Amino acid sequence: MPTPAGGRSLGRVFVGLIHEPLWDPEDEVPAPQRRSLPRGLWKPLAWLALWLWLFVLAAIVAGVFGAFGGYLVVLVAVALGAWRLDRWCARQYWGGLREWHG
């Protein structure tokens, strides 16, 4: 079959789509749900807010119950902060520090 440009053509080609019901998925994949905050970001922010709130509470307690009561609240706040830091450090990989031979 000659073409207007003077070249040759291979003829007509038919391309069709075949629908096979056996290949269809039975149920649709649900769309992923959108999260308001990235995973794990709200926990450290909540801990920081609680820790800072305890220092504000220490000033209130010191005004109502005296300096010793405020001191105990500050002591609890520092202990909770140290406990949180200890838990965070326990999850880290510290083996590489032992393997390094400077």
Task: Record the pTM.
Answer: 0.52
Give the Cα separation of 18 and 35 in Å (integer). Answer: 39
Tokens representing 32? 């992923």
The per-residue pLDDT for range 31-45, each reduced to its tens digit, is 777 766 667 778 888
Question: How far apart (Å, rounded) are the C-alpha atoms in residues 81 and 48?
Answer: 9
pLDDT in tens, 69-90: 999 999 999 999 999 889 888 8
Length of the chain equals 102
